[in-house]
Amino acid sequence: MYELVTKEELIDEALAKAVGPVDRFVGDAISAICNEAAEKILGRAVIEALGSDRDRLALVAPWIWDLARGLHFQGRDGRPEMSTAELLSLLGPVSKDSPQTQRFAEAIDLSATLTLNRLLESVLGPGACSRPSEENEAAAPWLIPLNLGYRIHLALEFLRLTPSN
């Protein structure tokens, strides 16, 4: 397997600060899963053409970092999924039960719902949203951590853009 990205490049510093760093074994697993997913989705020729150009990789497969975030979170927390309000309270200085956090969570959930088709189609190709979820999960068994990582990314961006919390 070709190592497109290293575990050091995949770890989100804001997430590590919020939930803790990954140990060497989890970091190695994250790297292996992300690189295997990239090779399966992009193909060897594209990976070799990208080489070490991270800017081009970010344009071609930005989802790799979302997958890494989801795997990082699962490696630290163990839960495959959690509510967005819980995520926000874990990632930032907000109470999960406050009405404001609930409104923030609703905005993030709406953003994720409206853009999920773009994420799925960039990973699984055109029509991925119209296929049964079982079919998509068979094609990419790491879709659950990818979706979680995408929501984490949206939550972290939201918290970064609303520093008054």
Tell me 4's DSSP state: S
**How would you class 86 by CB atoms within 10 Å of its CB: exposed for 0-12, middle for 13-18, buried for 19 or more?**
middle
**The residue count for the chain:** 165
pLDDT of residue 58: 87
Residue 149: strand, helix, or coil: helix
Say if residues 10 and 58 touch (Cβ distance below 8 Å): no
Say if residues 63 and 119 touch (Cβ distance below 8 Å): yes
What tens-digit pLDDT sequence spans the chain (165 residues)? 667 888 899 999 999 999 999 999 999 999 999 999 999 999 988 988 887 788 888 889 999 999 999 999 999 887 777 899 999 999 988 888 889 899 999 999 999 999 988 899 999 999 998 999 899 999 999 999 999 999 999 999 999 888 665
- Cα torsion 72, 143, 91, 61: sign: positive
Say if residues 70 and 144 touch (Cβ distance below 8 Å): yes
